[in-house]
Amino acid sequence: MNRRGISACGAYIPALRMDRNAMAQAHAWSMPALRSLGKGTRSFCSWDEDSITMAVEALRACLGGSDTDSIGTLTFASTTAPFADLQNASLVARAANLPAQTRTQDNAGAIRAGVSALIATLECSETNDSLVVAADHRKARPGSAQEMHYGAGAAALRVGSGDDVIAYCLGTRSSNNAFIDHYRPADSDHDYYWEERWIRDEGFTKVVPSVVKPLLEQADVAAEDIAYFCMPGYMPRLGGTLAKRLGIPGEAVVDNFAAKIGDTGTPQPLLMLASALERAQPGDKLLVIGFGAGCDAVLLEATEAIRDYHTSRGPTDLSTPLPPVEHYNKFLAFQGDLDLDWGIRSETDTRVALSQVYRAQDQLNGFNAGVCPACDAVQFPVLSTCVNCGATEPMAKKPLADEPAKVHTFTSDGLQYYPAPPMYWGLVQFDNGARLLMEMIEVDPDNFDTGSSLRMVYRIKQRDDRRGLHRYFWKAVPAERGDDNG
């Protein structure tokens, strides 16, 4: 029997980057010490992104358009899931068009929830094809160090036991304790931290080795044989310090993306693993840590299949960032920390008709068009009568999310209320014949016109901050962005 392991990974980082120096400058009058952290950028969610939308994008990157019929379970791990009682994983599964019989569950409680979910999935014998996705966009109090350190993102892993496993599991180990380096009460938006030196010396430096050492012993792997050490957290030298203490080679320490993306929380160790797997060669050992009121550790070994994976999948997409944002107010507004006066026009009620959403879930969540059985016209929305030939036979489903499309008509709308004006929208023409009106986001006005190629992303269409259930739908982004501004 094959051993269980990881068969694919996917990542998603929002395209928005906040310039840390601009943040430090905004706080310079009150917190001059933040200037020392004012280097590089951090990722953050646009107004229309949350942990569900990011998870969907990471999952799509992981699946790469492959067959999902055999997916048995999906676990969604996050400390910033939008819903306390409404299974977030289920919403993610519907947007990713996973089979209806896939068992879905949420995992939360600490930022090690992503690694915890990976361990649970690796040790679950119920299915040979599973998914783990982790996403977070932790808010930090303005002026805090965390505001500088944190980032937003998502990572997805496919777990199985087939010949396509690129890194199989050599062992896992966990511990629990009451070491509270930080916490976030259930009704709070922000984390509360204890002193950093105590966290480093009494927390990471002692807790991590107490789990890793016995794991290495039980797996009979020497620390010096670890090729990739994925130690999350924002502290810049933490990975190196722990590697040295554990006897892991310094060059094995995987970059924690602190310079450009920031500490993404729950997905962070999985993003580091995805990045390590891009470079790992058969036989390389990989060690992944999850930390928070205890510790999780996973030891993996890359297989021969990783060579084909490198060839077929290319580098893990951490998304090409937009030019760094220099307006701190924009960052605050998108985080929901700045209540701007958008005028009376913004007062429209955006309540979601839940019964309608359920009726149209295949269209709205899964972005499935209809295909007319009589004339093959692909169409959205799906009504009872074909737009092209008038046939009334039931239509077959055709997912549009991965279909190539172009701008047919567009404008930039400066009148309508929109949280990131101007709002670009227009008719999107799919190569398969489908056409519909869509929002177009992350547009560079100088490189955008009719005929520009588009790809689809899952986003919040309109927020209902009054009731907390937003309208989710798909939007179009330019298929290719210019230079890497990261």
Residues forming contacts to other proteins in the complex (CB under 8 A) are 343-345, 348, 350, 352-353, 356-357, 359-360, 363-364, 377, 379-381, 383, 387-388, 407-418, 422-423, 425-427, 429, 433-439, 449-451, 461-462, 471, 473-474
**Looking at beta carbons only, is 65 or 414 nearer to other proteins?**
414
CB of 453 to other proteins, least distance (A): 15
CB of 373 to other proteins, least distance (A): 17
**Looking at beta carbons only, is 39 or 345 nearer to other proteins?**
345
**Looking at beta carbons only, is 44 or 380 nearer to other proteins?**
380
CB of 424 to other proteins, least distance (A): 9
CB of 176 to other proteins, least distance (A): 43
CB of 362 to other proteins, least distance (A): 12
Q: What does the DSSP assignment read for 228-242?
A: EEE--SS-TTHHHHH
**Looking at beta carbons only, is 216 or 440 nearer to other proteins?**
440
**Looking at beta carbons only, is 281 or 411 nearer to other proteins?**
411
**Looking at beta carbons only, is 106 or 403 nearer to other proteins?**
403
Tokens 């010949």 belong to 163
CB of 332 to other proteins, least distance (A): 23
With DSSP H G I counted as helix, E B as strand and the rest as coil, what are the percentages for the chain, rounded to 5?
30, 25, 45
Sheet strands (E) in 161-223: 167-176, 182-183, 192-193
Spatial CB neighbours of 232, under 8 Å, sequence gap ≥ 6: 111, 256, 263, 268, 269, 272, 289, 290, 291
**Looking at beta carbons only, is 327 or 359 nearer to other proteins?**
359
**Looking at beta carbons only, is 171 or 419 nearer to other proteins?**
419
CB of 87 to other proteins, least distance (A): 20
Q: How far apart are CA 274 and CA 276, in angstroms?
A: 5
β-bridge pairing 73-77 and 471-478: unpaired
Q: How far apart are CA 471 and CA 463, in angstroms?
A: 6
CB of 379 to other proteins, least distance (A): 5
CA 36, 320, 463, 60 torsion-angle sign:
negative
- Please name the helix (run of DSSP H) or strand (run of DSSP E) that holds residue 227, with its range, or none: strand 226-230
Q: How far apart are CA 393 and CA 381, in angstroms?
A: 15
Q: What does the DSSP assignment read for 331-364?
A: HHHHHT-------GGGG------HHHHHHTHHHH
Q: Which of 277, 266, 110, 255 is nearest to 178 (CA)?
A: 110
Encoded tokens for 307: 């060579």
